Structure 1
Amino acid sequence: MLTIVATTTPEMLETARALLVEYGDWLQAEGMIFPRELRAFRDQLALLPGCFAPPDGCLFVAMHEEEAAGCAALRKLSDEICEMKRLYVRAAFRGMGIGRSLAEAVIAEARKTGYTRMRIHTVRSMVAASSLYASLGFEEIRPYEETLIEDPVFMELPLPGG
């Protein structure tokens, strides 16, 4: 059974931190993050929940049975615009719809918070991620921030009712 849990306890925050450390290691191994960005990523982990803290953000963990399977976060960009960040599913749990469930939880939280648009960026080589985002209604847009990532894709989702 899959459960999506908001990180409201110190234990869940530590679970999220462990998943995000693993995600950073994976990004580095795949050559998708530069040393400067990796340092900033790790600095952000030390400050969790940081920019993902309520009421403007959130950090979710997906639990499959009793095991942490993945995570995703939401952060504020402006009063109307938010960004989905750090969507990660452990390799053993990929292909089970966990990424979609996490993304849907983040989108629902963004609507509940009152955001009217959600943004995300990924890399073109992450085909499964780009396909997931497109299937959720995200469309490619012009870059909204600078990045050192090679071949980035910037996307946005309107949030009617947000």
Structure 2
Amino acid sequence: MVSFQFYIANTAVHFEEASQLIREYANSLGIDLSFQNFSAEIQDLPTIYSPPTGAMILVFNNGVAAGCAGVRQWSKDIGELKRMYVRPNHRKAGVGFALLDRCISEARRLHYNRLRLDTLAGMTSAQSLYLKKGFYEIPPYRPNPIPGTLFFELNLSG
């Protein structure tokens, strides 16, 4: 039986686990994320992804770290979903769907009216998940030099 446990990162141990997952995610992409100030973001996870403007959500599947995702402030009323990652051996078990649900709930709890994200063109499973949850494609809201990057948004007030 699948059993998900969620944690909102609030300890050094949680943020270290998130850091490891995010590095694993970045390595899996095969692209240079320096245009997003990736190194600084990793060093500053507890500031960026903590209340009152953010959260880092960890998901464990049967006691094993399966993935993470962050919600951070883009503007006063808009949150941004970042670094959503599910380890390959936990995919197709509903972990991503459950994690995205938790991120949406957290964005609402943080009083965001909309939640935005960007994703690579090749991440078709993620795109399908976002569309199933009500996200819709929008024009680019941030510079991104990776060709084919897609941008999505979810209205949280509806």
**TM-score, normalisation: structure 1:** 0.91
**Which residue of structure 2 lines up, in the alignment, with residue 22 of structure 1?**
24
* Aligned CA distance change for structure 1 residues 68 and 147 (closer, same or farther; 3 Å): same
Percent identity over the alignment?
37
CA–CA separation in structure 2 for the residues paired with 1:102 and 1:61: 8
**Which residue of structure 2 lines up, in the alignment, with residue 57 of structure 1?**
54
Q: Tell me, what secondary structure is at the counterpart of 2:75?
A: coil
Q: Tell me, what secondary structure is at the counterpart of 1:77?
A: strand
**TM-score, normalisation: structure 2:** 0.93
Deviation at 1:36, TM superposition (A): 3.0
Q: In 2, are the aligned partners of 1:74 and 1:84 still within 8 Å (CA)?
A: yes
* Aligned CA distance change for structure 1 residues 19 and 35 (closer, same or farther; 3 Å): closer
Deviation at 1:35, TM superposition (A): 5.8
In the alignment, residue 65 of structure 1 is paired with which amino acid? N
**Which residue of structure 1 lines up, in the alignment, with residue 108 of structure 2?**
111
**Which residue of structure 1 lines up, in the alignment, with residue 143 of structure 2?**
146
CA–CA separation in structure 1 for the residues paired with 2:22 and 2:77: 26
Give the paired residue count: 156
Deviation at 1:42, TM superposition (A): 2.5
Q: Tell me, what secondary structure is at the counterpart of 1:49?
A: helix
Q: In 2, are the aligned partners of 1:34 and 1:149 still within 8 Å (CA)?
A: no
Q: In 2, are the aligned partners of 1:121 and 1:152 still within 8 Å (CA)?
A: yes
Q: Tell me, what secondary structure is at the counterpart of 1:148?
A: coil
String of CA shifts for 1:116-146, please: whole Å, max 9, x gaps: 1111110121100000000000000110010
Residues 2-17 of structure 1 mapped to structure 2, 5 A cutoff: 2-17=4-19
Q: Which runs of 5+ in 1 are unaligned?
A: none
String of CA shifts for 1:85-105, please: whole Å, max 9, x gaps: 100000110111111111111
